[in-house]
Chains A and B, each alone.
Chain A
Amino acid sequence: MTLIEAQDLSVTFTLRREGDMPWTPPRRLQAVKEVSFSLQPGETLGIVGESGSGKSTLARALIRMLPATGRVLWQGVDLLTLNPHQMLKHRAAIQMVFQDPLASLNPRMTVGQIIAEPLRTHFPHLPAAEVKARVQLSMDRVGLLPNQINRYPHEFSGGQCQRIGIARALIVEPKLLICDEPVSALDVSIQAQVINLLADLRRDLGLAMIFIAHDLSVVRHISDRVMVMYLGRVMEDAPKRILFKSPRHPYTEALLSAVPIPNPAAERAKKMIPLDGDLPSPMNPPSGCVFRTRCFRAAPKCAAEVPRLEAYDPKVACHFPNPVS
């Protein structure tokens, strides 16, 4: 059974400029447009894309931190139609790990209080001793010493803070963990530790994960499937092996060519595909295919017609994709 499925999920922000008259129509920014994907239990979906491609917005829309349109089916229930009280029941099952490890922890609370918070929210009648035991178990599971329960976040390093964030997410035994760039604020050596911790936890607890990153090698290490986003749209969605071996979308191809290879000879021999220009303004996206302004394969058809995301694997939204190898 599918764990979570997004159907035509869109997020639109309305922007009002300072000094606008009340009757001027607000400008609309479509941060995520008609994104569809599905995730099986225990599966890890990596989401990659440049800054501003809507990765984080998509994650927040899934758990209704932002108003969205479309459907988010959680084990068959559409989360977007639930009232806040009904939604609360599902929040325990979907937990989130944030980008900035220290900023995501309340500086005035002890580690024990921080980790216990989801437990206290969803199981308010649990006795204090039980809460403490569970907190210590959760700390132990992520590699923190349980006797540090009374310490404060500023006494920990970045990697340890991220472990606290993970312990907090895992204490309510979620089925889905959404990681919003969990390692991009950490040192490379610490990144590896945290990624391996996440991979172990996923294996031991049978977690499904949505893993957002802009570092392709990190995504390659942990994902089963990878979804490439550009300007709020899905460009390609394919199993990891297929995507990294033979990318079909020109944007994916360009992204992969930018990943450095830790071997000077291979790095020199590699063919780089430079992309000109910047991400277009999401207020005023290009007509047709949004990537055409920077695409090395753009043709008149790309400006006229929006390419649909194919329905079968590997899915790609392009008029001229590379052939399936």
Chain B
Amino acid sequence: MLSPIDISALALRLAKLDEVKGRSLWADARLRFMRNKAAVAGVILLLLCAGFAAFGQLISPYSYDYIDFNIMGHAAEMGAPSWAKGYYFGIDDQGRDLFARVAMGTRISLWVGVIGTAISVLAGTLYGAVSGYVGGRTDSLMMRLVDVLLSIPFMFVLILLLVMFGKSLTVLFMGIGFLSWPAMARIVRGQTLTLKSREFIEAAQATGVPALRIILRHIVPNLLGIVVVYATLLVPDIILTESFISFLGLGVQEPQTSLGELISEGAKTMRYGTLWQLAFPMGFFMATMFGFYFVGDGLRDALDPKDR
């Protein structure tokens, strides 16, 4: 049995020790995520795709809009992928280097996905958290607005926007982001409602913490788990949407390109025997999709506290 003096001396010694670094729930989640092989493979796949998108153009000897007039029109006979000529992925129908174009397409597709998701997450999280936290009439009103927005056919509006404001990347980015936030707001609001009745929120209210600070410091950090998961699953959705718009010819404008547009061109010329024009963009498209879905799945498992 220790005497009281020993205990206080021990306490003093312990107090002089370095501060103990806590392991946050995020650190726990990171450990669990790292143990998930598919998710880690997804991250590596995504990093490779992103690296290719960022630096691919530097490796290629040709620029994405350089037209080789010698090959133009003879893609099927002379444009196959060739290491010697520097056309690693072959050429497209206009005689442009497909490697450089796929790099550019991947870059634009990733940007659309990431920026669209960022807008959607930011708007959706704040809107949903405020609606759920305030509650009552405000909540009903805000959620009815979301219902109205969700009932508008998203693709038509996006196409109308592109026709009205001209086909520009900015409109595409913003349009996709703003049109996909209502679903996010719904999910966040539901989660906020369950958080609101937790005692730590009550404790903050009792001590007089202002509502905005409660939302930003107590509610939003506890929502991040579900938001991160939903966001990683939203990115491929948005890339798909952009691909569809580009497929219709309303998306990215020549000579710029996106994966959707490349796939669309590749599909058109498939019957002339230039299969590489479809295969390479398709491969990168699928790799990105798989990457995001695996990471999303891994995050969902890692952030689920019941899995501990």
Contacts and interface: CB of A to CB of B under 8 A. Distances in A.
Given A108-B222, A121-B209, A154-B25, A149 B19 contact: yes
Interface in A67-111: 87-88, 91-92, 95-96, 98-100, 103-111
A103 B203 CA distance: 10
Contacts of A117: 204, 207, 209
Nearest to B223: A108
A88 B205 CA distance: 10
B208 A103 contact: no
Contacts of A122: 207-208
A147 B208 contact: no
B300 to A, nearest CB: 18
Contacts, number: 93
B14 A147 contact: yes
A100 to B, nearest CB: 5
B19 A150 contact: yes
Interface stretch (B174-182, B194-202, B234-242, B289-297): B194-202
Contact of A104 (B15, B24, B203, B213): B203
Contacts of A172: 207
A92 B20 contact: no
A91 B208 CA distance: 6
Contact of B202 (A91, A98, A107): A98
B205 to A, nearest CB: 6
Contacts of B199: 98-100, 103-104
Contacts of B204: 106, 117
A109 B198 CA distance: 15
Contacts of A99: 199
Given A88-B208, A149-B19, A103 B200 contact: yes
A146 B15 contact: yes
A110 B22 contact: yes
Nearest to A122: B208
A104 B205 CA distance: 12
A323 to B, nearest CB: 42
Interface residues of A, number: 38
Given A106-B200, A147-B15, A92 B22 contact: no
Interface string B186-229: 00000000000011101111111110010001100110100000
Interface string B14-54: 11011111111100000000000000000000000000000
Nearest to B21: A150
A95 B208 CA distance: 10
Nearest to B225: A108
A154 B200 CA distance: 14
Contacts of B224: 108
A155 interface: yes
B11 interface: yes
Nearest to B11: A145
B20 A150 contact: yes
A156 to B, nearest CB: 10
A155 B23 contact: yes
A168 B184 CA distance: 34
A160 B261 CA distance: 59
A151 interface: yes
A122 B210 CA distance: 11
B206 A103 contact: no
B17 A63 contact: no
Contacts of A244: none
A150 B22 contact: yes
B20 A151 contact: yes
Given A103-B200, A104-B199, A104-B200, A63 B206 contact: yes
Contacts of A154: 25
A137 to B, nearest CB: 11
Contacts of A96: 203, 206-207
Contacts of B210: 121
A117 B205 CA distance: 11
A108 B14 contact: no
Contacts of B20: 147-148, 150-151
Interface in A176-215: none
B1 to A, nearest CB: 17
Given A92-B208, A98-B203, A103-B199, A147 B19 contact: yes
A108 B221 contact: yes
A118 B19 contact: no
A152 B24 contact: yes
A91 B19 contact: no
B303 to A, nearest CB: 12
Contact of B24 (A92, A108, A140, A148): A108
A195 to B, nearest CB: 20
Contacts of A146: 15
Contacts of A151: 20, 22
A65 interface: yes
Which 9 pairs, one residue from A and one from B, show the smallest C-beta to C-beta distance? A151-B22, A91-B208, A104-B199, A108-B221, A103-B199, A118-B207, A106-B200, A152-B22, A88-B208
7 contacts: A65-B206, A95-B207, A96-B207, A122-B208, A145-B11, A147-B14, A150-B21
Interface of A: 63, 65, 87-88, 91-92, 95-96, 98-100, 103-111, 117-118, 121-122, 140, 145-152, 154-155, 165, 168, 172
Interface of B: 11, 14-15, 17-25, 198-200, 202-210, 213, 217-218, 221-222, 224
Given A107-B200, A108-B224, A121-B210, 12 more contacts: A96-B206, A96-B207, A104-B200, A106-B200, A106-B204, A108-B24, A108-B25, A121-B213, A147-B14, A151-B20, A152-B23, A154-B25
